[in-house]
Chain A
Amino acid sequence: MDLSGIFSYLVFFLVIVSIYGLLSLGLNIQWGYTKLFNIGIAGFFAVGAYTSAILTTPAAPDRVGGFNMPFLAALVIAVLVSGFIAFLIGIPTLKLKEDYLAIATIGIAETIRLFFNNEAWLANGVRGVSGIPRPFQHYITFNYNVFYLLMMLVFVAGVYLAIEKALKSPWGRVLKAIGEDETVTQAMGKNIIRYKMESLVLGSMIMGLAGSLYAHFIQFISPEAFVPMSGTFLVWVMLIAGGSGSNKGALLGALVIWGLWSLTDLITNVVPVDYAVKAGAFRVIAIAIFLEVILLVRPQGILGEKTVMSAAKKQD
């Protein structure tokens, strides 16, 4: 690979890292702060991606379409739809024990995938939606991927700063308190379910945002890209490795884990095709072992968050 090849690979790599960074930030609101176990990340990501794809593409004969909406309008709707799905999931599950949310979110992710797979009228089924327009393409005179990376950085920075600010507010402290000790927070008179719902919806909206930005970057989506575990599990490993409860950790985790994942991908590309499936399996085994080791050795991750309430207890 020559120098420009390395450069364009690096740009592509960083765009993907920033998409995963958004997913990881969204999960951090849910899991890192409020201890909501969302294992259906792929579902919310898919909803964001498909909403954007359907709304922005030109008319196609065999599916709903032809809305030709501008990028930013579709992006906003994609975010809202993801949030709405999260709201629906929250209604039956948030008042129950935390494991139910985990089971329900994997159910919704799978159902969403089956839906897009089978309802060809909506999004062309297994063949997927192609030709998703590149935002602002006509205004860009330099390397488009570089522009996209800059745009991604603006989105990531915006989301990061907004979350940091929100989490330092009284609202954010309640979220943290719920994550650390739900009973005590409830005893302080806080409406736990409402805060949990806000956390779930907000986190899922960010995942929808990531999905929309993914669709406009790759320009093609199919249900294949949203198989629940592959994406969801990687995001979990990113957040746990980076340090749940820390937004910097969430972003760092996305960078480190996607780096490792891509590195193993480069290695698997070298081996003969016959071994490709096995090498792929081996990659997942390695990442699964990596997760267990982190959980055993450093459960708080690289930039783990100190617990605020317990810290206050120690000072007393």
Chain B
Amino acid sequence: MLQLIANGIIFGSIIALGAIGLTMVYGILKFANFAHGDTMSLGAYLALLFFNLQLPFPIAVVLAIAVSIAVAILIDRFLYRFFRSTGPIILLISSVGVALFLRNIILLFWGPDLTYYTREIHLAFQVLPGIRLNSYEITIIIVTGVLIVLVHLFLKKTRIGKAMRASSDNMDLAEVVGIDTQRVIFWTWSVGTALAVFGGIMLGVENGLRPPMGWELLLPLFAAAILGGIGQPYGAMVGGLIIGIAQEVSTGFISTAYKPAVAFIIMILVLLIRPQGIFGGSKRWI
């Protein structure tokens, strides 16, 4: 049981990193980005590309993030930008197209088979009584913790972070008081994509890489974002951990194949009981 909870925290960290970006895009750009999971896959595969070029892993990660951010911003410039006036649903449809585009680009270049960053095996050791983790998993938890603190400082302390929170509350009002919304949009994609790529790479380290890896994570991501209250980055962090732990603990009782269904059922329950989520104080999202 303790081991399942520990696994849940690892998986939950990955979900949380993806869900933060998803919820930020929802809060500021006002649409459910169905391509977010595939952005995670893209980042993971780009890291593989750079790592296979004999670059050190941290540099490969940084390059993967940089290229993924460039891709996200290009898609926004040449596609999403034109749909902003036509409403959130056209953006949603468009993002489904982008999701399929990205996934099949990955399939085209890297093929359908499971691949790994490295064949090295890191043995798990006893961390706490009843919990065994390997060094990768400990790294995942530490890196997620650091990233979440960084996101917190970014949103609370920097000018652009404050501008993003203001825009998420009310885009028109933010524009009226002189906030540069173009800059806000740029930073939303940058931060959201960077976190998604971290999450994707961690998923690749933990489970290996497959083209649909990010797409399959989309349901837990949305469940986490909705559970935490859509548009609420802190909610997404907590939601991610809850969904991750719930999915792993469920494997003690039902078939592991039903993990995505567990996320889905939690999501439906939240929508029924508290649709604004745990941290969604106001009712503006419903």
Q: Are A96 and B275 in contact (CB under 8 A)?
A: yes
Residue of chain A at shortest CB distance from B264: A107
User: Is A198 among interface residues, defined by CB-CB distance under 8 A?
Assistant: no
A contact patch SS: helix
Q: Considering the chains assembled together, what is the distance between the CA atoms of A296 and B85 in angstroms?
A: 12
User: Is B60 among interface residues, defined by CB-CB distance under 8 A?
Assistant: no
A contact residues around B101 at 8 Å (CB): 284-285, 288-289
Residue of chain B at shortest CB distance from A227: B212
Residue of chain B at shortest CB distance from A88: B268
User: Quick check: which of A47-55, A108-116, A204-212 contacts chain B, the rest being far away?
Assistant: A108-116
User: Is B261 among interface residues, defined by CB-CB distance under 8 A?
Assistant: yes
User: Is A215 among interface residues, defined by CB-CB distance under 8 A?
Assistant: no
Q: Which of B31, B83, B107, B215 contacts A295 (CB 8 A)?
A: B83
Q: Are A111 and B255 in contact (CB under 8 A)?
A: no
B contact residues around A288 at 8 Å (CB): 97-98, 100-101, 104
Q: Are B93 and A107 in contact (CB under 8 A)?
A: no
Q: Are A292 and B94 in contact (CB under 8 A)?
A: yes
B contact residues around A281 at 8 Å (CB): 104-105, 107-108
**B:250-277 near A, CB below 8 Å:** 255, 257-258, 260-261, 263-264, 267-268, 271-272, 275
B contact residues around A268 at 8 Å (CB): none
**B:210-260 near A, CB below 8 Å:** 215, 218-219, 222, 226, 255, 257-258, 260
Q: Considering the chains assembled together, what is the distance between the CA atoms of A95 and B97 in angstroms?
A: 27
Interface residues on A, range: 35 or more
Q: Considering the chains assembled together, what is the distance between the CA atoms of A281 and B103 in angstroms?
A: 8
User: Is B86 among interface residues, defined by CB-CB distance under 8 A?
Assistant: yes
Q: Which of B111, B112, B226, B255 contacts A118 (CB 8 A)?
A: B255
Q: Are A282 and B104 in contact (CB under 8 A)?
A: yes
Interface size on B, residues (CB 8 A): 45
B contact residues around A280 at 8 Å (CB): 107
Q: What 1/0 flags go to A113-126 for Cβ under 8 Å of B?
A: 01101100000000
User: Is B114 among interface residues, defined by CB-CB distance under 8 A?
Assistant: no
Q: Are B31 and A99 in contact (CB under 8 A)?
A: yes
Q: Are A296 and B82 in contact (CB under 8 A)?
A: yes
B contact residues around A100 at 8 Å (CB): 226, 271, 275
Q: Considering the chains assembled together, what is the distance between the CA atoms of A236 and B94 in angstroms?
A: 11
Q: Which of B79, B96, B105, B268 contacts A233 (CB 8 A)?
A: B96
Q: Considering the chains assembled together, what is the distance between the CA atoms of A103 and B272 in angstroms?
A: 14
Q: Are B79 and A292 in contact (CB under 8 A)?
A: yes
Q: Are B94 and A118 in contact (CB under 8 A)?
A: no
User: Is A98 among interface residues, defined by CB-CB distance under 8 A?
Assistant: yes
Q: What 1/0 flags go to B65-99 for Cβ under 8 Å of A?
A: 00000000000000100110010111011101110
Q: Considering the chains assembled together, what is the distance between the CA atoms of A287 and B96 in angstroms?
A: 12
User: Is B285 among interface residues, defined by CB-CB distance under 8 A?
Assistant: yes
Query: Which 8 interchain pairs have the tightest Cβ spacing?
Result: A107-B264, A281-B107, A281-B104, A288-B101, A99-B32, A92-B271, A284-B104, A281-B108
Q: List 6 A-B contacts (CB under 8 A).
A: A110-B219, A229-B100, A240-B93, A277-B111, A285-B105, A295-B93
